[in-house]
Structure 1
Amino acid sequence: MQLSIVIPCYNMEHYLPECLDSLLRQNLDVDDYEIIIVNDGSNDDTLRIANGYAEKHDTIVVINKKNAGVGAARNTGYDLAKGKYLYFLDPDDYLAENTLPTLLALMEVNRLEILTFKSRSVVQRPYPFSENIDHPIEILDIKDGISYIASRKHKNEIWWFIVKRDFMRATGIRFIEGKWMEDAILTSELFCEAQRMAHVDLDVHRYRILPSSAMRNKSPEHYNKVIYDNANAAYVYDGLIKNVPKDHPHAKRCIKRLKTRQQSFVFFLMLRLMKSDISVKKIPEMLNGFEKIDAYPLKKFLGDDYKGVGYSLLVFIFNRKPLINPFIKMFRTFYTFVR
């Protein structure tokens, strides 16, 4: 079997059909792929829809489990996967038609461990076709993962690359369970281990922008959890950065980019703190911890990956401890008034 596609699902009844239909329109032989849907304790019609597709298509397997979060759901699918290659797709997203065969062929011909590709954000209008699937594919620039990170900005998410299953198993890397940012951590961990990876400028993935998505959930409990999970990601990255081989020719540039990503977790944590109900009295303790791992002050955040007036202004404030508490208090007063 060539490919296992793992889809973690929680209350995705409105979007799962389009996701699955896009995978069934990939012109893949039924013996070459499997779709593993992991229903993570949905309380809507997601499970019924998934089972309905599984009854009609032998390529689809449905696993129903108690809710434990997206990381645990992905690990469940990963453990059951049989394909030579793995792809983790979110159920509210979908793929352009007939793009997976090209990706699989590139993985095979170039003996890749990881292949990244293009994603397009969508709201309501569907974009079922790739804008360049019929164009000639350029010769891939194959790099090890350290060189890849050093040379280009990479996304946190898991859905913009395919990974070789044997490679991933050999690393021992799995999704962190019970915390957000689990794919941001796993992505960089995998990239740092890769010896053969590349990017193809092929229009493949559709990222659906949803106001109700997990990262946009504004409930205080969820919002605060995301803040603390951003903090956890910053600490995990400390170990990742320390493990980059210092004798690698691109180590310095790779570390700089990973440090930027680490400080982005702190920046967006601070941004979310502005709208949270977490006491400002807890902020100094947080910042002291980040200082110990060089994730604060935000000296390495601004640059090629994050730039602009808004970023610069907020970094100026966040980097000056005496300004943070009064600024956040003022913002919360204004935010409460206008909300």
Structure 2
Amino acid sequence: MRLSIIIPCYNMELYLKECVDSLLDQQMNSSDYEIIIVNDESKDSTLQIAQDYAGKHSNVKVIDKKNAGVGAARNSGYDSATGEYIYFLDPDDYVAQNTLPILLDVCSKNNLDILTFVSKSVVSKPYPYSKNIDSLDINTDLDIKDGITYIADKKHKNEIWWYLIRRDFIKNTGIRFVEGKWMEDAILTSELFCQAKRMAHTTLDVHRYRILPTSAMRNKSPEHYNKVIYDNANAAHVYDKLIATIPSSHPNAEACINRLKTRQQSFVFFLMVRLMKSDISVSEIPAMLSDFEKIDAYPLKKFIGEDYHGIGYSCLVFVFNRKPLINPFIKMFRSFYTLTQ
């Protein structure tokens, strides 16, 4: 078995078919890959759709479990995976035709722990074909490096759906998704990259990221919105432990740590942005900032730079880094925001 594709699902009846159909349209033998759909106690027809595919395709498997969140669903799929490589795909996304066999060939030929690739954001118009599959020589000048060097050289996405992972590699690290919290793939991605010995990036156009107003990160219900804020804070603290594991003897340690510090402070920055629109009392902010100071995630000294720049970011950082300005600024913003809703 060359590949296991794990799809965690919660109420995805509108999109699951396009996702699975794109995986079945890859010119691969069914014995070479498996599609593991993990139903996280959906309330719509997601489970029935998944079971229909499993009934028609021997390489489609369904795990039906009690709702425990996307991290737990991904872990369940990972535990049952048998492929040499693993791909975690969201059910509202899809992949371009015939791209997965190419990625697998590159991974196997070069014994890669991780292979990253290109993702394209889409709304409603379908983009089923890779824009450069016929013109790209994927093996030419493939730059293979360890994960610390990769992070040092290149800004990376938090999400899990833009790379393949060798299953033996992730298994040997013992790394799993944090369960019950958001930002779980942001944590796992950096943890995995830091331990990879052989990874590379290809400019092959593969993944389609569907932009949905109803996605988890855009959910504006107070309970969910506030949980994302607290889970951003948790991610910042997890990164403190991760940064401490980078060996100082590595030639690219400093550059890697700087980029991880930028990512850590991005969690604090976007937490503060979300706080502006939340109903969390401003009286909680000083304690949060004090905790961030202890791990050097605040003030935001490493945030503005190559990865995050522009007048908007700079103006907000100016305010966020000055404690006396934060409470009046947020109160003023909330008053204005309430009037415009």
**TM-score bracket for the superposition, by shorter chain length:** over 0.9
The residue number in structure 2 matching 1:165 is 167
Are 1:101 and 2:101 counterparts? yes
CA deviation profile, 1:294-325 (whole Å, cap 9, x unmatched) = 00000000111101110000000000000000
Instruction: Supply the AA of the counterpart residue of 1:108.
Output: S
The residue number in structure 1 matching 2:234 is 232
Secondary structure of the corresponding residue to residue 77 of structure 2: helix
CA deviation profile, 1:181-236 (whole Å, cap 9, x unmatched) = 00000000000000000000110000000000000000000000000000000000
The residue number in structure 2 matching 1:71 is 71
Secondary structure of the corresponding residue to residue 31 of structure 1: helix
Secondary structure of the corresponding residue to residue 215 of structure 1: helix
The separation in 1 between residues aligned to 2:337 and 2:54, in whole angstroms, is 47
Q: Offset of 1:54 from its aligned partner?
A: 0.7
1:123-142 equivalence runs, <5 A: 123-135=123-135, 136-137=137-138, 138-142=140-144
The residue number in structure 1 matching 2:84 is 84
Are 1:253 and 2:265 counterparts? no
In structure 1, the gaps of 5 or more residues are none
The residue number in structure 2 matching 1:16 is 16
The residue number in structure 2 matching 1:46 is 46
1:182 to 157, 181, 184: 184
Secondary structure of the corresponding residue to residue 31 of structure 2: coil
TM-score by length of 2: 0.99
The residue number in structure 1 matching 2:56 is 56
CA deviation profile, 1:268-299 (whole Å, cap 9, x unmatched) = 00000000000000000000000000000000
What is the root-mean-square deviation in Å for CA atoms of aligned residues?
Answer: 0.4
The separation in 2 between residues aligned to 1:93 and 1:315, in whole angstroms, is 33
TM-score by length of 1: 1.00
Identity of aligned residues (%): 73
Q: Offset of 1:139 from its aligned partner?
A: 2.1
The separation in 2 between residues aligned to 1:110 and 1:166, in whole angstroms, is 15
The separation in 1 between residues aligned to 2:45 and 2:325, in whole angstroms, is 48
The residue number in structure 1 matching 2:29 is 29
Secondary structure of the corresponding residue to residue 83 of structure 1: coil
Instruction: Supply the AA of the counterpart residue of 2:51.
Output: N
The separation in 2 between residues aligned to 1:166 and 1:17, in whole angstroms, is 30
Secondary structure of the corresponding residue to residue 38 of structure 1: strand
In structure 2, the gaps of 5 or more residues are none
Give the paired residue count: 339
